[in-house]
Structure 1
Amino acid sequence: MRQKFLLLLLTLGLWSNLTQTTYAQFGPPGGGPGGPGGFGRQEQLGRKKEEFTGVADDAPKGNGKVSGLLIDSTSGKPVEFATIALINVKTNKPIDGTTSDAKGHFALTKLAPGDYRLQYSFIGYKNLDSKQFTVAKGTDLNMGSVKLPADVRTLGEVVVTGQAAVIEEKVDRLVFNADKDMTAKGGDASDVLKRVPMLSVDLDGNVSLRGSQNIRVLINNKPSTIVAANVADALKQLPADMIKSVEVITSPSAKYDAEGAAGIINIITKKNTLHGLTLNVDAGVGLRASNLGLNGSYRQGKLGITLGGFGRAMYNRASSTLDQTTLVGGQLLRTSQQGTAFDKPVFGQYTLGFDYDLAKDQSLSANVRFGTRNFVQQQTQLTNSYIADSLLSMTNRDVNRKDLSNSVDMNIDYVRTFKPQQEWSISTQYSRTGLTNNFYADLLNNADVLTGRQQNINNNTNQEFTIQTDYQTPIKKNQLLEFGGKAIMRKVDSDYRYLVGRGTGDLANDPTNPAGTLAYNQNIGAGYISYTYVTPSKYTFKVGTRYEYTGISATQSTELRSNAQLNIPSYSNLVPSINVSKNLKAGSTLKAAYNRRIQRPGLQQLNPNPNAANPQMIMVGNPTLSPELTDNFELSLSSTIKKTYLNTSLFGRLTNNAITQIRIPSDTLAGSIITTFQNIGIQRTYGANVFFNTNITPKWSINGGLDGYYQYMQGLTQGADGKSITISNSGVSIGGRLMSQLQLDKGWSAQVFSFFRGPNPQLQGTMGSFYMYSLGVRKDLASKRGSIGLAAENFIGNGVTMRTNLSTPILSQVNVNHLYNSNVKLTFTYRIGKMTFEEQRRKGRSVNNDDVKGGEGGGDGGQQQQAAPAGGGGRPR
């Protein structure tokens, strides 16, 4: 039973040297992490015998001694930092223990007379018991060389009987094990996120959590400046094959940046901690996308190096229709538009990282990540305008859009461990992204004769430097104190201009759209303190507060006005958080949480460039936006009933000064709609989630869920007289998903997945519903060195259609988008090289700036470790 429990903890990611002696102090497996007096992790790095957590303080003493040497049964190398427990054969309970040193030697001294046996244990090796022996007065017994046999189940990934849980729950988050999803192979991160409970991904790849897009997405606990510009495109740079799990953090603790009103999504990529040299090849070919990835790793002694590259090319078609009516000068102007688009995006990312053990209690790690996006789109737009059923104008546009970017993230992390649970770390990161968002349009008449040309040039840079330090220390055996500080220095620059011309000749500056620049500087200073307490009655309390000060200076220039200072005041926020969990009987857990979050505007919302690639739907940012404040409440109950895991939750989200899209008629082009962003006022969201995972047989599992929420919004818009008026809207949105996995004989497996999202209320209307489904099969190659898979998505019919309705006192709009996203793809993976087991190494923490609206992250996640009572939230992510 205890060995099975150890494997379960490994599957949950709690990589610590738990042994039967640990259970003696922290309670039996039924108590689990979060039992009375227990921490969720214990680390065995070079600690002294008196620090060994499983030793009873009142163990009998004498002058006996037992010593020996632990070696790997295959390589013959010493096994360092393994756990040795001294078991009393009469009671079958541990009474003393120690760990092996860097050369594999161990010794137990001051032993009282009695009959004993030793139990040897370490991650990656099978538990081994010695023969019974007797210690008498003055006994000095040498056990010789003890060969520990490797546990092949942990070479690469832990394998337990049946299938690992697809959904796991921790004190402040829900974990989706994405590496069990075969239909996402050959895809990207957005394909994986479609399958994660509480998340939904629309047809454009935008991610929302419980109906809100005000989230922060991290990749291996780190941000990247590129996602501040476009979340959907940034996720396409991360291959699905490299994603191990996705963490949905609905109630972040004070250690997290205060940004992300609805919560945080943390994407954990696969990484190995083995010893040797490997090369992984991932390739895929499909009707809508193809990909190729190469990832290598090398580890020898104290040094580990990783090098990877991934490329993905896509080709999609889409069509749309637009019917809108606007009130112009007391008359109704009706506009209809038919459009087609052909997308040819190419994404890539390249990473280089290393980690080095400076000493047993000190480590240094560094990582460089380069990302690129080349999004090219060809559009055709046929637009007709009518007044009183009389044709006013007809316009035909051929548009070429280019959305290009390159980003680099560099970080260095250092961590010093003083003793188990006590450590200090310092992390630094520099990120820079250059973005180009241009379009070129040819204007044609009804005879397809070129009558004019238009070009928009918009270059942006987004850079930031971050330094943070964190310290944590245990207080007694059931309390943990954490505190730290952080500084972020950001700079955003935007340079834009419009050029126009006739059918021939050079292009000249457009007098109706003056050129301009934006220089936006944001400096953030933050400090936090967090305290975790586990009671004897199995309550876990994690409380904390975070203070953040934000200073902003911004200037905007146009051809008519130079270096105009924008009046954006600095602000400070005190952000409390409370997480409470209670372990009930029969493996159930009850949780309650409250936290306050702030949401700063991102680059898309700030950029003042009027993007008129489609002149009927112009997008322009608002550099004077203020942050929004949200209070989150959550109550959840999870339980395991026989073979079924069930989670239910109720939540509420109260937002003031909410940043929301607003659509208003253009002053310069009749029938045109401008989409911008404003702090509209109020948003109230109340909802519930139900998720389940059940193993019908050891090889057949089904999981799914249903979620719904009610949302009320109130804000300002333009009335018929041109003055601002207050409007409100409310509605209910329901969504769900269902996935089934089946393991077959001879390495075959199959999976089916389906998802739907109902209409979503907005301040000025309703966004339409959408759905998706997929079916996949996979065959593992010999020795599981690779696999071949075939998957199909939305293969019935001709794609997905989404209908959006907008309505205000002066405009109404119906927009229908049709995405031809039927897809069949063939995937192939193979692993070259040989690895042998090596103990998990301590790595530094990493910077994670989870503080920009719509922002997400990138980088290497090898530097995370949880060290909190009762699984209480772990490190900042």
Structure 2
Amino acid sequence: MRYFFIILILAALNSNAQTAGDKGKITGKVTDSGTRQPVDYATVSLFKQGSTSPFNGISTDPKGDFIIGSVPAGDYRLTIDFLGYKRYTAEHVIVTDGGTMALGIILLQPVQNQLKGVEIVAKAPVIENRIDKMVYNAQNDLTAQSGAAIDVLKKVPQVTVDIDGNVELQGNANIRFLINGKPSSIFGASLADALQAIPGSQIKSIEVITSPGAKYDAAGTGGIINIILKDNKVQGINGSVNLTAATRQENGSFNLNARKGNFGVNAFFSGNAQLNTTVLNTNNRTSTGSNGDVTRLFQQGSADTKRSGYQSGLNFNWSITPKDELTASVGFDHFGNHSNGITSQQQTLKDFTSGDILSDLISLRNSDSRFSAYSTDLSLSYKKNFKKEGQELDFLVTTSNSKNTANYLQTQDYLNDPRETTGIRGNNPGNDRETNISIDYTHPITKTFTIEGGAKAVIEDLKNTTVTDTLLGGNYVNNADQSYTFNYKRNIYAAYLSTSSSLFNKFLDVKLGLRNEYTTTSTDFSGVTIPGYNTLAPSAVISHKIGGTQSIKLSYSYRIERPDYGEINPFYNISDPNNISTGNPNLKPEKSNSFELGYNRSFNSGANFYIGSFYRHNTDDIQQFAARYDELDINGKEYTNVLLTQRANLGIQASLGGNIFISVPVTSKLNLRSNMFLVQRTNKAPGIDSIKALQYRVNLNASYQFAGNFMAEAFGNYNSSTRTLQGNRPKFFFYTMAVRKQFWDKKASIGLVANNAFSRYINQESVTRGPGFNQSTIRQLPFRSFGITLSYKFGKLEFSKEKEKEGHEENGNLPAESAGR
């Protein structure tokens, strides 16, 4: 399959799409006259002379470019509209047989009036379906603003989030997370905690890329989720404050933007805290020993959990010239959690033949665990635009350093046995440093054929220390057998080439790519040797537009999933000696071939409909696996009746699924959105019965705009239960209701939000089974909360025309305003 796409790419490099027939086309690029930034999704309309209704049109792409094809020869009038800008009109646009009318760079001028501190931004739809990604505009969704990033993700099409914050994309948990298109070590230690630390009010949009092209890293068999934080490049000084106070979760964010001429600064700080939450747990495990004796372990208790985090950043942007831009940023992030609880335990051993009770041990376990991570992110990027439209050079350096600490403490008192109290504590500090250096170049060969290429180096260094102490005679004594260091280095060297072209008179848009990555890994952990390996990752996207309202897309991508920090760390978490977890440094990368077919249609009423299907085939599939031991030796210490959980490469997983998204403006005030996701997975692993598991997700969002800037919104989501290799994952349902009132010329707002208002707990019932054991678990998680949200925008927005003519009169070129007239 991969070599087939190599042949396609080589063929594309020798092709040059031609415009057939006697029809012509019109091209151009739309930019802001003050900031020189592209204006995407501006409406371009084409009129016959004397007509008041357009007969053809299109929207600009994210780079501000547009191409109107299949235009008969003639004399036309062209208009460009976008909210907050004056209409641009070009009279007497002459199109010849088979010719191209190039309008060049078109400058849109902002509406010149006093803006009274109100930010002029075109309100994009909540969901946008583009050729290579789906975009969820969180800032336009009322209920998304009061929670954290994990709550926002629950509303994104094709994304599934369980009650513990585990994220899946199209049913796959192996996702590459980015912030503003860049990697961050904040995701390396604890993804769920990191997503809890980003307030929803700080998120501008979330991009879902299920079939990434060759320009993206090959990591992430499920695809890529890119979290775009809010920023502002408009002239002047302005900012915003957002606060949420609630019974379960609190967050706040502050943004300040300052831009004068070609230099801008953005500063932000955001924080999030989950207040003390008490989770009730019941665990019942029955296991059969090697001699046939039956052991029943019953555990019942509660745990109090707190979680908090913050993000801060400072970004600098310098437009050195109209064609040269330098951007630098620094960010400081922190998140952590603390859990402590008490559990009553009864372990009963029965004789296999007589059924007599051989022992009945009752104990009380106290446990305490803490985790914290501090991360620093630095980046520097330079972008060069050349005279030729679309020709670009990008250079980016990012470095991210995260210091993580995980520790636990547990003691066990025996209530009906004379043995002394036992206990153990562990401390696991670590450091994760990752540096990315990349260069990307885009070169348009013709108006319809473009080549992209680039190279990248990723240097990752993980350092980890484990110190374990055992309680002996009332004192903790270092256990040398369970104290060690673990250093892990991984370097990835990549290069890619991709082509984009329009074929058959723009009947098809085709993008083909090939990426090569070579990975070297070294570790000082005893018994672990990981050889270097090469990955050849092809990708392809073929799309066809039907008029200006419909599109069909077919894509293919080859992806891998390298094991992450938590999966390879051999640290044993023994906070519960009967349920121990550890990493597996011998994990191999998971490999995936993915196919996707999608259809999208938009309607004049504002409605939107998307239906898509996918098929994914994974080998060396990484899955969590639990094994039961009568006795387990961990570095010289024996533990009895243990369930050991870790990740392993377990055979093959095939997934077939589909997604339907519908958005309907029922009236001018009422809007309904619904997303339905369905996937069937088949797992085959040596020594384990193959399984077929069906999983689905359905949600519904309703919003209503009342008079007086008053708005209400409700959102409900249901995730079905699904089978796993050794049991099932539980179902869950949650709902959110919110109202908001805007005032002071929409500069300020106040809102009320409620989550699961009519039920105190979400009950989670799951089963895990394997050779010799069967375990059922019930967790009761308090999810109900009530809160109030406040937001305020301040400052004035100014637009400057100082640079309006810069860069457009060089070499005798006419200003864009004169082009085509």
Q: What TM-score, normalized by structure 1, do the two folds share?
A: 0.79
When residues 472 and 524 of structure 1 are mapped into structure 2, their CA distance, relative to the original with a 3 A threshold, is same
CA contact (8 A) 1:17 1:43 kept: no
CA positional deviation for 1:185: 2.3
In the other structure, the counterpart of 1:88 is 92
CA RMSD of aligned residues (A): 3.3
- Would you say 1:653 and 2:616 are equivalent positions? yes
How far 1:596 moved relative to its partner? 0.5
| Aligned counterpart, 2:279 | 318
Q: Structure 2: how far apart are the matches of 1:327 and 1:838? A: 77
Equivalent residues of 2:580, 2:645 under 8 A apart: yes
Equivalent pair of 1:732/1:761 in contact (CA under 8 Å) = yes
Distance across 1 between alignment mates of 2:728 and 2:458? 37
Match status 1:422 vs 2:391: yes
**1:434 lines up with 2:394 in the alignment:** no
1:473 maps to 2:443: yes
2:662 counterpart residue number: 692
Does the 8 Å contact 2:44/2:59 carry over to 1?
Answer: no
1:396 maps to which residue? Answer: 364
Alpha carbons of 1:568 and 1:838: their partners in 2 closer, same or farther (altered >3 Å)?
Answer: farther
Match of 1:63 in 2: none
Say whether residues 1:216 and 2:176 are aligned partners: yes
CA distance in 1, matches of 2:549, 2:74: 32
Residues in 2 aligned to 1:397 and 1:773: alpha-carbon distance in whole angstroms = 35
| Secondary structure in 1 matching 2:386 | strand
Aligned equivalent of 1:134: none
Distance 2:216 2:594 in 1: 15
| Alpha-carbon contact 2:198-2:271 (below 8 Å) kept | no
Q: Does 1:183 align with 2:134?
A: no
Deviations 1:266-302 (CA, angstroms, capped at 9, x unpaired): 1112211211112321111110122232221111112
CA drift of 1:184 comes to: 2.6
Q: Any idea what SS the aligned residue of 1:784 has?
A: coil
Task: Tell me the SS of whatever aligns to 1:835.
Answer: coil
CA spacing shift, 1:170–1:96, aligned 2, 3 Å: closer
Q: 1:546 aligns with which of 515, 530, 533?
A: 515
Residues 86 and 778 (structure 1), Cα distance of their counterparts in 2 relative to 1, 3 Å cut: closer
Q: Superposition pairs for residues 603-642 of structure 1, below 5 Å?
A: 603-641=565-603
Equivalent AA in structure 2 for residue 572 of structure 1: N
The residue type paired with residue 309 of structure 1 is F
| Higher alpha-carbon deviation: 523-532 or 184-193 | 184-193
Q: Secondary structure at the match of 2:194?
A: helix
Q: 2:205 aligns with which of 237, 241, 245?
A: 245
Identity among equivalent pairs (%): 28
Q: What is the match of residue 670 of structure 1?
A: 640
Residue 478 of structure 1 contacts residue 533 of structure 1 at CA under 8 Å; is this kept in 2?
yes
Aligned residue number for residue 63 of structure 2: 41
Aligned partner of 1:601 among 538, 560, 563: 563
**3-state DSSP class of the match of 1:589?**
strand
**Residue 728 of structure 1: CA displacement?**
2.2
Give the residue type in structure 2 aligned to 1:458.
N
Indicate how the Cα distance of structure 1 residues 296 and 393 shifts in structure 2: closer, same or farther if over 3 A, else same: same
Q: Does 1:498 align with 2:468?
A: yes
Report the AA paired with residue 557 of structure 2: N
Q: Hey, what's the Cα distance between the residues in 2 that align with 1:839 and 1:754?
A: 47
In structure 2, distance between residues paired with 1:742 and 1:447: 62
CA distance in 2, matches of 1:214, 1:339: 32
- State the distance in 2 between where 1:473 and 1:96 align: 18
Q: Which residue of 1 aligns with 2:268?
A: 308
Larger RCO: 1 or 2 (CA < 8 Å, sep 6+): 1
1:109-508 map, 5 Å: 122=108, 124-125=110-111, 149-150=112-113, 156-159=119-122, 164-315=124-275, 316-330=277-291, 331-388=293-350, 390=357, 391-419=359-387, 420-446=389-415, 451-502=421-472, 504-505=474-475, 507-508=476-477
Contact 1:755 1:771 in 2 (8 A): yes
Task: Tell me the secondary structure at the aligned position of residue 541 of structure 1.
Answer: strand
Task: Give 1:15's aligned residue.
Answer: 39
Is 1:705 matched with 2:665? no
The whole-number CA distance in structure 2 between the counterparts of 1:86 and 1:734 is 50
1:525 maps onto 2:486 in alignment: no
CA contact (8 A) 2:574 2:581 kept: yes
Which segment is superposed worse, 195-204 or 327-336?
A: 327-336
Q: Amino acid of the residue matched to residue 510 of structure 1?
A: N
Contact preservation (8 Å) 2:414, 2:421: yes
Report the CA distance shift for 1:710/1:699 in structure 2 as closer, same or farther (over 3 A): same
Distance change in 2, residues 1:775/1:17 (3 Å): closer
Q: Does the 8 Å CA contact 1:399/1:440 hold for their aligned counterparts?
A: yes
The separation in 1 between residues aligned to 2:92 and 2:113, in whole angstroms, is: 26
CA distance in 1, matches of 2:383, 2:230: 22
Q: Structure 2 vs 1, CA of residues 150 and 543 (structure 1 numbering), >3 Å: closer, same or farther? A: farther
Distance across 2 between alignment mates of 1:803 and 1:155: 49
Q: Is the 8 A contact 1:21 1:85 kept in 2?
A: no
Partner of 1:587: 549
CA deviations over 1:186-210 (Å, ceiling 9, x no partner):
3210010011111111111111112
How far, CA to CA, are the matches of 1:582 and 1:840 in structure 2? 41
Unaligned runs of 5+ in 2: 1-25, 32-36, 49-53, 76-83, 351-355, 633-638, 805-821
> CA deviation digits over 1:298-350, x for unaligned, max 9?
11112111111112221222111111122222322111111211111111111
| Amino acid of the structure 2 residue aligned with 1:325 | T
The letter of the residue matching 1:551 is: T
Q: Against the structure 1 CA distance between its residues 424 and 298, is the aligned structure 2 distance closer, same or farther, given a 3 Å change threshold?
A: same
Query: Shift of residue 30 of structure 1?
Result: 4.9
Q: What secondary structure is seen at the aligned counterpart in 2 of 1:458?
A: strand
Matches within 5 A, 1:546-565: 546-556=515-525, 564=526
Separation (CA, whole Å) in 2 of partners of 1:819 and 1:448: 33
CA distance in 2, matches of 1:500, 1:598: 40
Match of 1:736 among 679, 698, 703: 698
Match of 2:14 in 1: none
Give the paired residue count: 735
Which amino acid in structure 1 is aligned with residue 415 of structure 2?
N
State whether residues 42 and 421 of structure 1, in contact with CA within 8 Å, keep that contact through their aligned partners in structure 2: no
In 2: Cα distance, 1:294 partner to 1:40 partner: 27
